[in-house]
Amino acid sequence: MGDMSVRLQRVESANRLGFLPYLLMADESERVVKEYIEAGEMYSIMDGAGLVAGVALFVEESEGVIELKNIALDPEFRGLGLGKQVVVQAFDIFREKGYRKMIVGTANSSIANLAFYQKVGFRMAEIKKDFFLDYPEPIFEDGIQAVDMVMFERVLEKSK
């Protein structure tokens, strides 16, 4: 693979359902995804050759706070450091839009995600107990049941 840089490109509302397969890689409940697929701002993750490598969806959670609701990379683009580039670009995009904080949640069982979000500068903020018990099917990762949502936050102030 050549140039492993990525850029974020806004996705218009009319085209969002085309990205459903990507969103489902990161959130297994189609019902849950369909509840938020029309919300917020969606960006396709484009690689250097202009191919779609994945998708990221951001939803305003409250005044000044943007939530990274879903980020997914096609399996062939994983493990190359692209996810970090996406998140760092998103920090800049939403800081420039005037947001002061980005939040993201992941399951207690998503060990790789728990590590990833900390590596890119998020800190644990709260636990939403029993969050995943509302999902239609139980989710297991690494032999651990997804039960609680771990919320992370990252302040988007200009670094001084």
Q: Is residue 63 part of a domain?
A: yes
Q: Is residue 93 part of a domain?
A: yes
β-sheet bridge partners, residue 155: 101
Number of structural domains, the chain?
A: 1
Q: What is the pLDDT of residue 19?
A: 96
Q: Is residue 1 part of a domain?
A: no
Q: For position 89, which CATH number holds? A: 3.40.630.30
| Per-residue pLDDT band at 1 (split at 50, 70, 90) | very low
Q: What is the pLDDT of residue 3?
A: 57
| Distance (Å, whole) CA 52 – CA 45 | 6
List the Cα angle 97/22/45 in 5-degree steps. 45
Q: Is residue 81 part of a domain?
A: yes
Structural domain of 141: 6-155
99 residue type, one letter: Y
**Residues 40-80: pLDDT tens digits?**
999 999 998 999 999 999 999 999 999 999 999 999 999 99
Strand order in the sheet with 41-47: 6-10, 41-47, 52-62, 65-73, 101-107, 149-155, 123-128
pTM: 0.91
Q: Is residue 160 part of a domain?
A: no
Terminal C-alpha separation, the chain: 36
Q: Is residue 137 part of a domain?
A: yes
Q: Is residue 70 part of a domain?
A: yes
**Residues 100-157: pLDDT tens digits?**
999 999 999 999 999 999 999 999 999 999 999 988 889 999 999 999 999 999 999 7
